[in-house]
Amino acid sequence: MNISIEEVSACRRRLRIEVPADRVAAEVNRVTNEFQKAAQIKGFRAGKAPRPVIEKRYAKDIEEEVKRVLVPTAFREAIDEKKLKVSTALNLEEVNFVSGVSLSFSALVDLEPEFILPEYKGLKVKKFDATVSDAEVSETIDRLRGQMADYKTVSGRAIQENDLAVVTYEGKLDGQPLVDLLQNAKHLAKNEKFWVQVKDDTFLPGFAKQLIGANAGDALTVSVTFPAEFPQEDLRGKTAVYDVKVDEIKETVLPEFNDEFAQNIAKVTAEELKKRVAENLKLQKEQQARNDHARQILGQLNGSANFEVPESSVQNQTRNVIHDIVRENELRGVSRDMLEEKKQDIFTNAQSAAKGQVKLSFILGKIAAAERLEVTNDELIGEVSRIAMRENTPVKKLVKQLQENNGFDGIRESLLSRKTVDFLLQSAIIE
């Protein structure tokens, strides 16, 4: 088999493959025989039609079947013969076929990058402080108390900071009711009996703080200037005026931290709950420390290895990063229009992030191979079970989905990367 390789870019190659004529003729003969056995042609008994009739009637079908068999087979043999480490097979080009005489084609592939591993054992990282302070324990307990808080209506005083004001409001922009402008966000234009906590960064910019000093039953005017990046495009950089009526003033009443409270929360004593909170915070801090140390190690590896990565891998990962960015912003309430305006910035940032992620995946893969790290079947099964539990999906259903979508390879790759990072952390020097 005649094979030539053209360098297109650092990782991309074009293979030109020519299948020997005798092999093409043999395959054409085999396929034609199969068609002859199965053919039912008027005037002839089944399977007894003359070969020239078969060759003429099914010429196109025979050609397609020969190419379907020979092209992928020849491609795999060429990869093996030239010992190419293919990252992605892109597409076929220039498939030329002459029945029984010749078959040649070109194939575009991206190869795994060739590079020398940087030093990866004993990397120095700055220690992340994982100690848990009494203040952090108290803050967590206060948040638990907040979940069980009562809200008491107060009278005889004005609104104070951190109160909960129950208000009815209606906004206008240049004299026009906001409700006419905001068809998809009418809650920003008009609402009744709305609870707003009186502190910075709640609801609309500056709205809550302007309620301080008002009494229940008061009517007042509140102005809101919307920032340039506000999700609702019609309001960006503009100032709206709200007519507000204070319906009620409520204050938060936190339950005491005692055994009764701890029983309601976790069926334990107050002392045991405090200890449990401290242990959970410790686990969180230790995970943060691991993540921080891993980030430092991966940053060093990425910076010390200089090589090009396959374009197709970067393109695929860029799509994944963009999907994550869009989903995260939509959950934050960012509109599609605003995302469309920043499309180029999103793409540029996603592409840069994707390139670094792909580069790291090749580095970690090479370290795993050098250290003979592997993912066992038990580890794979355990991870699938954890995913099923997390997603509240029956294991059998998830396994079927993974089989249909070739999802096991992705899970195995993720586990191997995690195991490789664990190896790097174990050998790291924490300063």
Q: What is the mean pLDDT of the chain?
A: 92
Helices 377-390 and 408-427 cross at an angle (nearest 10°) of 110
State the Cα–Cα distance between residues 76 and 42, nearest whole angstrom. Answer: 41
pLDDT at 234: 82
pLDDT of 242 over the 80 cut: yes
With the CA atoms of 39, 44, 50 and 56 taken in that order, what torsion angle do they form, in degrees rounded to the nearest 10? Answer: -60
pLDDT at 211: 96
Q: Which of 31-40, 105-114, 146-155, 278-287 has the lowest mean pLDDT?
A: 31-40
What confidence tens digit (pLDDT) does each residue in 297-339 have?
Answer: 999 999 999 999 999 999 999 999 999 988 888 887 777 777 8
Chain length of the chain: 431
- Where helices occur in 93-190 by DSSP H, the ranges are 134-147, 178-181
Return the closest-CA partner of residue 62 out of 24, 28, 94, 37: 28
Higher pLDDT, 53 or 423: 423
pLDDT of 86 over the 80 cut: yes
State the Cα–Cα distance between residues 92 and 4, nearest whole angstrom. Answer: 15
State the Cα–Cα distance between residues 275 and 277, nearest whole angstrom. Answer: 5
- Where helices occur in 209-342 by DSSP H, the ranges are 259-266, 270-304, 311-331, 336-341
pLDDT of 56 over the 90 cut: no
What confidence tens digit (pLDDT) does each residue in 150-170 have?
Answer: 999 999 999 999 999 999 999
End-to-end CA distance of the chain: 58
In the numeric block, which tokens belong to residue 327?
């989903």
In the numeric block, which tokens belong to residue 111?
């190869």
Give mean pLDDT, residues 41-48: 75
Q: Where are the domains of the chain?
A: 2-111, 150-253, 267-430
pLDDT at 336: 77
- What architecture (CATH level 2) is domain 150-253? Roll (3.10)
pLDDT at 418: 95
3-class DSSP state of 2: strand
Give mean pLDDT, residues 276-302: 96
Q: Confidence class of residue 183 from pLDDT cuts 50, 70 and 90?
A: confident
pLDDT at 182: 83
| Residue where the block lists tokens 């204070």 | 246
Q: Which residues in 176-193 are b (16+ Cβ under 10 Å) and which e?
A: eebbebbeebeebbbbee
Q: Confidence class of residue 3 from pLDDT cuts 50, 70 and 90?
A: very high
pLDDT at 334: 74
Q: Confidence class of residue 296 from pLDDT cuts 50, 70 and 90?
A: very high
pLDDT at 295: 96
pLDDT of 199 over the 80 cut: yes
pLDDT at 232: 81
Ramachandran region of residue 392, left (φ > 0), alpha (ψ -120 to 50) or beta? left
Superfamily of domain 267-430: Trigger factor, C-terminal domain (1.10.3120.10)
DSSP string, 102-113: EEEEEEEEEEPP
Within 8 A by CB and 6+ apart from 153, the residues are 248, 249, 250
Q: Confidence class of residue 184 from pLDDT cuts 50, 70 and 90?
A: confident
pLDDT at 138: 96
State the Cα–Cα distance between residues 67 and 104, nearest whole angstrom. Answer: 10
**Pairing mode of beta strands 176-177, 150-153:** unpaired
Q: Percent of the chain at pLDDT above 70?
A: 100
pLDDT at 335: 73
pLDDT at 53: 86
| Residue where the block lists tokens 């664990």 | 422
State the Cα–Cα distance between residues 293 and 423, nearest whole angstrom. Answer: 12
pLDDT at 347: 92
Q: Which CATH number fits domain 2-111: 3.90.850.10, 3.30.70.1050, 3.30.365.10, 3.40.50.2030?
A: 3.30.70.1050
pLDDT of 43 over the 80 cut: no
pLDDT of 80 over the 90 cut: yes
Q: Which of 44-53, 63-72, 236-245, 363-372 has the lowest mean pLDDT?
A: 44-53
pLDDT at 40: 76
pLDDT at 41: 79
pLDDT at 229: 83
